[in-house]
Amino acid sequence: MLDLDSVKKIFKISEFRSHQEEIIVRLLNGENLLVIMPTGMGKSFCFQIPALVFDGMTLVISPLIALMYDQVTALRKLDIDATYINSSLSKEERENRYEAIKNGKYKIVYVTPERFRSIKFRNLIQGRNVSLLAIDEAHCISQWGHDFRPDYSRIAEIRTLLNRPTTIALTATATKQVQSDIIRSMGFEATEVKLFHSGIARSNLYLHVESFVDETLKREAIYEHLKKSSPGPKIVYFNLIEKLQKFSEYLDSKKLEHRMYHGKLPPKERKRIQNQFLTHDSQILLATNAFGMGVDKPNIRLVVHAELPLSLESYYQEIGRAGRDGFNSDCYLFYEESDLAVLMDFIEWQNPDVSFIRRVFEVLAIQSERLSSMEYSDLQAKVVHKNRGDHRLQTVLNLFERYHVTKGELETHNLKLIADRLPPELVSTEILERKRQDSLKRLYEMLMYIKSTNCRREFLYNYFGEPNCSCDHCDICAKNKLTQM
């Protein structure tokens, strides 16, 4: 068995950052932990290092297939016995890895929470000695988190299946409400889990907000920042693909080279663009929030939000992709009044009521034999008739997949209805309305952030339960500092 000093040499670590060392030591002593640590501060080391010291296997639950691939690739380069099992594998590849797990291979195995739907995998993993369970992107556990995944709510059941190993949950952001929900959903009492809050501070990120009276002025301002900003990779985030594409046309007219990334591109094209961005140091990427999860590029110098984000959680996750190398980076949020109307529509689309959910379920049941030949537009016409601007159907299809009501995808013509009734969570008016109100509250907090006349960093700290700020790294503090000189 390796000791901690030997493992540090394998990872080529001379000294730990923030709370890393204490976290690792407490895990090795069998304590259960919830770790909140800023993006880019080395959360993965907190479970990868003790994984090599423990006798048994470490199982990492992550929702991010791209991140699994990147982390396993990096571990293998260090000759660490690691693998992942997810939907990107062929049946043969998956079976080979199952057999290897059965035979005692692998110190670290990455899986999505959905993998535990498989009885074969559950039986297989029960036969292994799992010393450590690591839950990455732990905010996905909480139904009030900004990226809830129903399969994450089964962590307590998974822990029992694995004979209750030492457990660590990690995330970059979590309000106090979400922290409590994570601990409860894992099957712990609050006193059974040690909280490590490294803070959300990223002092090298300079925060700016600029408001505009119309779209044209905003577009011109973004262009000027892209053209004049310091060299290095840059990301411009959009809510709507349509606006992203229009801005791309505008940059084309200005002969400013760039790439586009959004959810409607074919998977292979998205992968190609992502790899290009990761391997080049001077690219501009226009993206929706489909880009970024699991992408680790250290030298992004500029992150621009061309439209108002839906929540401070998603905003902070996205600006957290800048400056991971510790050097100064700029984060601009450009706001125009019409952004709010778009986001109000988003909230309505993302929070369909019970009657709409039931209508989609009934249509799928009636069309079950024809689903394999239907296009999205065909199904949409049967549910919302001619209103193509109504995007509630996509939300419901996503919910049905997450709650195991359907299997497969409409786009690949293999969608199937696999449940004969809807789960309670999707037919409870109280639950659905509470989620809608929670979405509205998050949007309100986002508006308060852009309208704040006090330090923006302090606003973020207070929102995430971390008071006190002393900085000149936001536009308001910088202006106040100038007026006092």
Question: Are residue 244 and residue 291 in the same domain, yes or no?
Answer: yes
- In one-letter notation, the amino acid at residue 272 is R
Note the pLDDT of residue 199: 67
Note the pLDDT of residue 385: 74
pTM of the model: 0.77
Question: Are residue 211 and residue 269 in the same domain, yes or no?
Answer: yes
Pick from 437, 462, 478: which residue ends a domain? 437
pLDDT 10s digits, 159-169: 999 999 999 99
Pick from 289, 308, 336: which residue ends a domain? 336
Question: Are residue 278 and residue 349 in the same domain, yes or no?
Answer: no
pLDDT class of 50 with cuts at 50, 70, 90: very high
Q: pLDDT averaged over the chain? A: 87
Reading the block at residue 130, the tokens are 């799992």
Note the pLDDT of residue 144: 54
Specify the number of domains making up the chain.
3
pLDDT 10s digits, 109-166: 999 988 988 889 999 999 899 999 999 988 887 765 556 677 787 899 999 999 999 9
Question: Are residue 181 and residue 33 in the same domain, yes or no?
Answer: yes
Pick the closest to residue 298 from 272, 271, 321 (CA basis): 321
Q: What is the dihedral of CA 43, 45, 50, 56, to 10 degrees?
A: 90
Question: Are residue 119 and residue 226 in the same domain, yes or no?
Answer: no
Question: Are residue 96 and residue 222 in the same domain, yes or no?
Answer: no
Share of the chain above pLDDT 90, in %: 46
Pick from 336, 353, 372: which residue ends a domain? 336
Give me the long-range contacts of 249-255 (CB less than 8 A, separation at least 24). Answer: 250/219, 250/223, 251/223, 251/226, 251/284, 251/286, 254/223
Most confident of 168-177, 224-233, 353-362, 393-402: 353-362
Residue 212 lies in a domain: yes
pLDDT 10s digits, 368-382: 888 888 888 889 888
Task: Name the phi and psi angles at 70, rounded to 5.
Answer: -65, -45
Inform me whether the pLDDT recorded for 80 exceeds 80: yes
Residue 451 lies in a domain: no
Cα angle, residue 228 at apex, residues 226 and 234 outer, rounded to 5°: 35
Question: Are residue 160 and residue 213 in the same domain, yes or no?
Answer: no
Note the pLDDT of residue 97: 95
Question: Are residue 316 and residue 367 in the same domain, yes or no?
Answer: no
Inform me whether the pLDDT recorded for 466 exceeds 70: no
Residue range(s) defining the domain that contains residue 128: 4-197
> Comparing 5-9, 178-182, 188-192, 204-208, which segment has the lowest mean pLDDT?
5-9
Inform me whether the pLDDT recorded for 231 exceeds 60: yes
Question: Are residue 236 and residue 293 in the same domain, yes or no?
Answer: yes
Rounded CA-CA distance 25/327 in Å is: 30
Residue 473 lies in a domain: no
What separation, in Å, do the N-terminal and C-terminal C-alpha atoms of the chain show? 60
What would the mean pLDDT of 200-227 be, rounded to a whole number?
90
Which CATH number characterizes residue 302's domain? Answer: 3.40.50.300
